[in-house]
């Protein structure tokens, strides 16, 4: 298998990439990632330098990873400034770092994209190993896989990644007509605190 890093998602055929992502993850679609790049939202100037990993087997795309060199932590929705500060206090550079994510999109979806008929464990292992080697060769501080499904974290940790746990809160609109309808579902004490 041949691992290739590209500077634009458009260096990979649209149908080949979308064949890996399927229809259930619209933010991973080639068109979405290309729109971010073509509009300039994702670029070296914005601190999101694309370096996508494409894995080929006999010329056929069999795996991929949406990757970015990051020079800051904005737009990730993972707040790692404490890590950056710790690096700085020890005389180390936290940036640039390598991030596998969908820019500006805190939606859980696979990061290691795997083609139909491929061995998921093998492709996942190769993608992680190639990415870690890439980061090491370029002296990047770290490599992060953001907003992955739980089942993929097991494969990432088996590949040598450390697990960082965080907490998120998700609000759901249960047919509230207005904010007061939502507040009415809470205890008096909580309503008071929110209104304050």
* Domain harbouring 27, CATH code: 3.40.630.30
Residue 165: predicted pLDDT: 67
Within a domain: residue 195? Answer: no
The tokens for 134 are: 């890439």
**Helix 14-21 × helix 30-38 angle, to 10°:** 120
Within a domain: residue 176? Answer: no
Within a domain: residue 153? Answer: yes
CB atoms under 10 Å from CB of 163, counted, come to: 9
Q: Of 90, 22, 34, nearest to 66 (Cα)?
A: 34
Range of the domain at 67: 2-168
Within a domain: residue 20? Answer: yes
Within a domain: residue 150? Answer: yes
Q: What is the total count of domains within the chain?
A: 1
Residue 14: predicted pLDDT: 96
Residue-level pLDDT, tens digit, the chain, 196 residues: 999 999 999 999 999 999 998 778 999 999 999 999 999 999 999 999 999 999 999 999 999 999 999 999 888 888 788 889 999 999 999 999 999 999 999 888 999 999 999 999 999 999 999 999 999 999 999 999 888 887 887 777 776 777 776 666 677 888 999 989 999 999 999 999 888 8
Within a domain: residue 177? Answer: no
SS percent in the chain: helix, strand, coil, step 5: 35, 15, 45
Within a domain: residue 54? Answer: yes
Residue 4: predicted pLDDT: 97
Within a domain: residue 194? Answer: no
């Amino acid at each position: 298998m041949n691992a290739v890093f590209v500077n634009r998602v458009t260096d990979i055929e649209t149908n080949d990439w979308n064949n890996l992502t399927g229809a259930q993850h619209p933010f991973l679609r080639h068109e979405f990632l290309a729109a971010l790049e073509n509009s300039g939202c994702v670029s070296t100037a914005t601190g999101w330098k694309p370096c996508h990993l494409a894995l080929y087997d006999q010329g056929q795309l069999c795996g991929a990873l949406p990757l970015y060199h990051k020079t800051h932590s904005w737009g990730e929705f993972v707040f790692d400034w404490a890590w950056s500060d710790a690096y700085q206090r020890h005389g180390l550079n936290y940036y640039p770092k390598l991030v596998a994510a969908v820019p500006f999109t805190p939606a859980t979806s696979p990061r290691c994209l795997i083609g139909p008929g491929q061995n998921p464990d093998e492709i996942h292992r190769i993608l992680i190993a190639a990415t870690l080697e890439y980061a090491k060769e370029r002296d990047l501080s770290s490599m992060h896989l953001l907003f992955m499904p739980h089942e993929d974290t097991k494969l990432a940790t088996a590949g040598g990644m450390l697990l960082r746990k965080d907490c998120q809160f998700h609000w759901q609109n249960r047919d509230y007509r207005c904010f007061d309808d939502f507040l009415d579902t809470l205890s008096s004490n909580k309503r008071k605190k929110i209104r304050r």
